Amino acid sequence: MGDLPQIIPINSSNAKKALLSFEFGIGGILFGLIFLVLGLVILNYTKIIDLSFVLPKNIATKLPQKNLTVQEKAKKIEYATIWIGDPNDTTGRAILLSKNRGLQNALLIDTFNLVSEDEVIMGTFKSLQQIPGSNDIYFILNNPLNSQEVKIRIKTKITQKEKKNPYTDFIVDNLSIKPTEKNNFGMEKLFAYNGLDEDMEKIKKIIRSGDVVRVWLNGYVNTDASGKPEKVMLKDEKNIVVAAHISIRRFGGKEQINTELKQ
């Protein structure tokens, strides 16, 4: 009978070392991945990097976010804040930005102006008033730099049969983008004022005392005695100007407003 093949005993010590090395290798990789993910989340939180460019939006928006100041948000788009009404706010609702934001359209230059004969006026919201016998309302704006106030009429949207009559709609100025003609100068439509209870609820949710408001007035072109055309601001029976657009402002624009309306 031939010799049986010899069985070489396994060195149990070496086997354990190999197994431990394998386990530590896998553990090291997992630990490294966890450390990498945590590092990216921290960098995203501190705004050193922005993961929204590499992750789906529905995931990126759920990551912990650090609230930037309005100065930091303005700086990201190469603007500066020249007036801040609420130092605790981070949405941009109560700020004025530097004049270079109006390079594409001079009407977008931020400056307090309540001269009702101008096409555009700008101030801070003080209060609103109901008009007896009408669904229209008055907005009262003031200039925080002095004691000047002005009253603006918010007109209800009318029926199709009366579509020639003016009405007021609400828009938001998206401060997160540079205004150009291609993006409608950053203006995003919110809703037309229909005089309904739900309209008042929306207004109370997105506009509060101290908010910066830009008003585009309703006007028409009139020809004077010499035949020269001139723009005339539309006024009601009490000589109060009528708003075509009420423009509020937010970093994030309509997306931020929709968040506030859900609260």
**pLDDT tens, residue by residue, 240-249:** 999 999 999 9
**pLDDT tens, residue by residue, 19-50:** 455 555 565 566 666 666 565 555 555 555 55
Residue with tokens 């009318």: 158
56-65, 122-131, 163-172 — most confident range = 122-131
Residue with tokens 């005089």: 195
Instruction: Specify the pLDDT at position 80.
Output: 95
Confidence of residue 136 (pLDDT cuts 50, 70, 90): very high
Confidence of residue 96 (pLDDT cuts 50, 70, 90): very high
Output the six-digit token pair for 73: 């948000």
Instruction: Specify the pLDDT at position 171.
Output: 97
DSSP state of 104: S
* Antiparallel, parallel or unpaired: β 242-250 and 169-174: parallel
The answer to whether the beta carbons of residues 188 and 253 sit under 8 Å apart is: yes
Q: What is the pTM of this model?
A: 0.74
Residue with tokens 């995003």: 188
101 to 33, 77, 78, 119, 238: CA distances (angstroms): 43, 10, 9, 19, 35
